[in-house]
Amino acid sequence: MTIRYQYKGEGAGGFERYGSAHDSDFFVSLFFSMLRIRRIEEEIERRYHQDQMKTPIHLVIGQEATSVGACAALRTSDLLYSSHRTHGNYLAKGGDLKAMLAEMHCRITGCVGSRGGSMHLIDKKVGMAGTSAIVGGAVPIAVGAALATRLKGEDRVTMVFLGDATTEEGVTSESLNFAALKKAPVVFFCENNFYSVQSPLSTRQPPRDLHRWAATYQMPSVAVDGVNVLAVYDATVAAIERARVGDGPTFIEAPVYRLRAHGGAGDDSHTGYRHLAEREHWEAFDPLALYEHFLKRKQLLDDQVIGEMETRLTQEIADAFEFALSSPNPSEEDLFRHVYAE
Amino acid sequence: MPWDEGLVNSLVYDAPDPAEGRVVSYVKAINEALTISLDSDPSVFVMGQGVDDPSAMFGSTRGLQAQFGPERVFDTPLSEEGMMGVCTGAAMNGMRPVFMHNRPDFVLLAFNQLVTHAAKFHFMDNGQTNVPMVVWAAIGRGWGSGAQHSQAIQGLLLGVPGLKIVMPSTPYDAKGLLLSAILDNNPVCVFEHRWLMKKDGIVPEGFYRVPIGKGIYRKRGDDVTIVGASHAIELGMRAAADLEAEGISAEVIDLRTIKPMDEHIILESLEKTGRIVAVDTAWMKGGVCAEIGCLAAEKGFHFLKAPVARVGLPDIPTPAGYTLEQFYYPDAARIAAAARSLVR
């Protein structure tokens, strides 16, 4: 079987039901956010071989709709936790691009002062609260964050991005159980991209739907088309509202496809763990292209507007790389900072 | 865990002199620290398997849920890693959780969150986030505790940057160190010892702190230094008394905190005595004993008049049976023998 994991959504037709739900500015802003992430990722990928970014990278090309759609449902004050594949989550939550690229260039101006690299893109000012490079590591932390906000009486919701493999970690089961028990104001957002590094879901789990598995923890659990930014937004809004009013956690499964390798630049389908035809199949459901098609049909977007966006992004991204590359390196004294808090 | 209650009840400790102050049991001292913390700081909460049950974590959490409510004092699922992560996340967001385990063996289930997350976030995010949390556990010994209910895991954690580890030996310290640990802005492991739980001591009322990272002289002496923490100090003091009767003057240092370790007090004493016996409730290899020995060799080499001696557990898992236990655990006599061998 050349295509192990089929796209099962409604494609371009899936956008229609959301066609009148929002004003035009909102529709276009989602597109811009997705386009921005795509162009940033492409530029990172283009420059990666220069070895100036001495950090692992985990590109989100093909997964922009989940980051953008889900984060659009969050307030700045809401908390977001994430995993190693964090570029899109960070940018969609409002994380600073210059600080992100400086971090990836190991500069002192990086968002975490060159201590984290690309897997620990954190910007607390905008609620990008923490990440873990250990699969499942951020999941109980998000539940704890949610518990804290409730104990303090804060009007905040916590969301955590996790991948399909995260559902295999015991700690994820523990976290879902506890979140449901305590009705913690948390949303578990699972980007199911079917592969953990190069291991397909089929070698890791019996055939099942991840959202049905999560539902056994006695919480609402839904599947949503992960290439449809409007569907993602809609499902996340519902989950956030549940959490905000005290009805507890929700699990969202969004099937998506990683159009690049697990780590590094470029795709690695040629190495044989997945078939090129599978990637090409999913490329036909590129979240950015699908959404562009929908917006153009609704006459909310045209090539001129897109061209203006591209010009703006080219400049912003060039400036951010320039900032990163011209930023100072950390000093030896910086190594000794922040091992312990005062 | 009532099965070892009789054993702990049967242990005999020197009775404190009531003329010196208020006499309180070790467990009660812990209870007071928790009560004061919960009462004075709304960000503190206490969780752990059975903290609200009739045994109340050896009595240390008795009455807390009734006083402070189930939102702030609560039982947990048997999900050690998940709950350690919950504590980490709560601590990262303004709370001061106290996560109690009746044995350190269960903390091993949570090392991923403790070692790789709680201890790392402050560094990894460039100091943006503090992780003020306490991980409390009582080391078991005897009555068949065996290989899986008696592990003293402090040695495994000594090499983890970002963590602090305190090991009180008296009721006074149990309260004062726990209050310090809860107020500390870092993850702090508090390793108690089951055999100290019924020990009485002089404990002031109200709030006070024992500083983290500072050791204390329990006994002054000139010939040999005995240094360790927790229940090893109980044994060390008895050994020192026996040595005194033989004319050997032993100095006993209670480190109170093993990470960060008070190197100054160890070297200060070693400079005077020239001989050192490192004692611990855990394995000698790669742990507190090894670290003290290394310190003596590295920074106190010119003070040494004799080799460093270590008295801790052999490189063997804990046996469950009574007779094997007697061969396994060090006692005061073994500490005294080690000291004697250095002096003579």
pLDDT (tens digit per residue) in A80-137: 999 999 999 999 999 999 999 999 999 999 999 999 999 999 999 999 999 999 999 9
Residues 216-275 of chain B whose Cβ lies under 8 A from any Cβ of chain A: none
Please tell me the distance from the alpha carbon of residue A314 to that of residue A40, in angstroms, as a whole number: 9
Structure confidence at residue B4 as a pLDDT band (50, 70, 90): confident
| Interchain contact, A144 vs B117, CB within 8 Å | no
Query: Tens of pLDDT along A186-237?
Result: 999 999 999 999 999 999 999 999 999 999 999 999 999 999 999 999 999 9
| Mean predicted confidence (pLDDT) in A308-318 | 98
Tell me the average pLDDT of chain B. 96
Name the residue among B76, B88, B97 with its Cβ closest to that of A141: B88
Residues 6+ apart with CB under 8 A from A152: B43, B93, B94, B95
What would the two tokens of residue B26 be?
Answer: 């070790």
The domains of chain B, with CATH numbers, are 2-12+19-202 (3.40.50.970), 216-343 (3.40.50.920)
| Interchain contact, B126 vs A338, CB within 8 Å | yes
Please tell me the distance from the alpha carbon of residue A30 to that of residue A14, in angstroms, as a whole number: 16
Shortest alpha-carbon distance between residue B6 and chain A (Å)? 35
Give chain B positions within 8 Å (CB) of A177. 77, 79, 82
pLDDT for the residue numbered A21: 79
Structure confidence at residue B2 as a pLDDT band (50, 70, 90): low
pLDDT for the residue numbered A1: 62
pLDDT for the residue numbered B5: 82
Q: Is the peptide bond before B260 cis (omega within 30 degrees of 0)?
A: yes
Interface contacts A/B by beta carbons within 8 Å: 152
Shortest alpha-carbon distance between residue B86 and chain A (Å)? 4
Shortest alpha-carbon distance between residue B253 and chain A (Å)? 25
Please tell me the distance from the alpha carbon of residue B170 to that of residue A178, in angstroms, as a whole number: 36
| Interchain contact, B186 vs A147, CB within 8 Å | no
pLDDT for the residue numbered B344: 86
Residues 87-146 of chain B whose Cβ lies under 8 A from any Cβ of chain A: 87-95, 97, 112-113, 116-117, 121-132
Pick the residue of B45, B123, B184, B185 with the most A CBs within 10 A to test the interface with A by mutation.
Answer: B123
Shortest alpha-carbon distance between residue A103 and chain B (Å)? 11
The domains of chain A, with CATH numbers, are 19-325 (3.40.50.970)
3-state SS of chain B is CHHHHHHHHHCCCCCCCHHHCCEEEHHHHHHHHHHHHHHHCCCEEEEECCCCCCCCHHHCCCCHHHHHCCCCEECCCCCHHHHHHHHHHHHCCCCEEEEEECCHHHHHHHHHHHHHHHCCHHHHCCCCCCCCCEEEEEECCCCCCHHHHCCCCHHHHCCCCCCEEECCCCHHHHHHHHHHHHHCCCCEEEEEEHHHCCCEEECCCCCCCCCCCCCEEEECCCCEEEEECCHHHHHHHHHHHHHHHCCCCEEEEECCEEECECHHHHHHHHHHHCCEEEEEEEECCCCHHHHHHHHHHHHCHHHCCCCCEEEEECCCCCCCCHHHHHHHCCCHHHHHHHHHHHHC
Maximum pairwise Cα distance, chain B: 59
Query: Tens of pLDDT along B283-324?
Result: 999 999 999 999 999 999 999 999 999 999 999 999 999 999
pLDDT of residue B1 exceeding 70, the answer is no
| Mean predicted confidence (pLDDT) in A285-303 | 96
Please tell me the distance from the alpha carbon of residue B94 to that of residue B91, in angstroms, as a whole number: 6
In terms of DSSP bridges, do strands B216-219 and B250-254 run parallel, antiparallel, or are they unpaired?
Answer: antiparallel
Share of chain A above pLDDT 70, in %: 100
In terms of DSSP bridges, do strands B164-166 and B200-202 run parallel, antiparallel, or are they unpaired?
Answer: unpaired
What would the two tokens of residue B47 be?
Answer: 């969780």
pLDDT of residue B3 exceeding 80, the answer is no
pLDDT of residue A292 exceeding 90, the answer is yes
pTM confidence score:
0.96
**Active site annotation includes B149:** yes
Of the candidates B149, B193, B264, B302, the residue annotated as catalytic is B149
pLDDT for the residue numbered B127: 96
The length of chain B is: 344
pLDDT for the residue numbered A122: 95
Query: Tens of pLDDT along A7-44?
Result: 999 999 999 998 787 899 999 999 999 999 999 999 99
Please tell me the distance from the alpha carbon of residue B30 to that of residue B169, in angstroms, as a whole number: 12
Give chain A positions within 8 Å (CB) of B122. 338-341
Alpha-carbon separation of residue B58 from B52, B201, B220 (angstroms) = 11, 17, 33
| Mean predicted confidence (pLDDT) in A245-267 | 96
The length of chain A is: 342
CB atoms within 10 A of CB B6: 9
Q: What's the number of CA atoms in the CB half-sphere (13 Å) around residue B266?
A: 34
pLDDT for the residue numbered B145: 92
Which residue, among A32, A79, A22, A11, has the nearest Cα to A255 in the 3D structure?
A: A11
Share of chain A above pLDDT 90, in %: 97
pLDDT for the residue numbered A293: 96
